[in-house]
Amino acid sequence: MTAQTETPGSVTTVYKVSGMSCGHCEGAISGEISEIAGVSAVTAVASTGEVTVVSAAPLDDEAVRAAVDEAGYELVGKA
């Protein structure tokens, strides 16, 4: 297991996403969300449906929703 170090001032947000079932799903969602400006780390876990995002500032929920939609999944909300 790898430890994630957060930069002082960074924000960690956990989102619930429906439709993830495998590593490919995790990669697709991580890839799309990581393209949002300010995002420094994304960890998607299919078994829990949770996506943890570390960013420089709070993200616009609609930007996250659009990235998840682009990957082909549905953002349920924040965990």
For the chain, list the domains and their CATH numbers.
Answer: 11-78 (3.30.70.100)
| Total-model pTM | 0.88
Distance CA 78, CA 55 (A): 15
The burial class, CB within 10 Å (0-12 / 13-18 / 19+), for 21 is exposed
**Residue 27, pLDDT score:** 97
**Residue 21, pLDDT score:** 95
Of 66, 34, 69, the closest CA to residue 52 belongs to: 34
Amino acid letter, 28: A
Each of the 79 residues of the chain gets a pLDDT tens digit; together they read 334 555 678 999 999 999 999 999 999 999 999 999 999 999 999 999 999 999 999 999 999 999 999 999 999 999 8
